[in-house]
Amino acid sequence: MFVLVTYDVNITSPLGQNRLRQVAKTCLNYGKRVQNSVFECVLTEAQFVLLKDKLSEIISQSDDSICFYKLGNNWKRHVERIGKDTSVDVTDVLIL
C-alpha cells in the first residue's frame, strides 16, 4: 500500500523544532522524503498502524497536523511531477 505522508509542525517554540526533527526521522524509517514535509511510503497495513501511532505520540495534537493519503498499489499511475524530480522509485531495488 502506497501512503503519502504530509505534515505541518508548529515550530514557533523549541519544542516544536524538536517535534519536527522527530517526525522527519520517524518518517525516514518508513519511506522516502520527496519534499520538505512530504514522504512517500510503501507500507503493509501493520506498518501503517505503527507509523500513525508513533507520529501521534510525537506531535502536539493542537498545534501540528499530519495527513495520510493512501493511493493503493497502482500508485505510480496516479502521481505526476513537474520541476526538479525528487523521486527515486520507493519500490526499486537499491544496490549498495
Q: Interface mask (CB under 8 A) for its own copies, residues 4-43, using x and -? A: x-xxx-------------------------xxxxx-----
Rounded alpha-carbon distances, angstroms, from residue 33 to 14, 30, 49: 23, 10, 19
71 part of the interface to its own copies, by CB under 8 A: yes
91 part of the interface to its own copies, by CB under 8 A: no
63 part of the interface to its own copies, by CB under 8 A: yes
Q: Give least dist CB 96 to its own copies, A.
A: 25
Q: Choose between 29 and 65: whose C-beta lies nearer to its own copies.
A: 65
Q: Which stretch binds its own copies (CB under 8 A): 24-32, 58-66, 88-96?
A: 58-66
For the chain, first and last CA: distance in Å?
25
Which residues are CB-contacts of 63 (< 8 A; sequence separation ≥ 6)? 9, 10, 16
Among 17, 29, 56, 76, binds its own copies (CB under 8 A): 56
CB burial readout 62-84, b (16+ within 10 A) else e: eebebeeeeeeeebeeeeeeeee
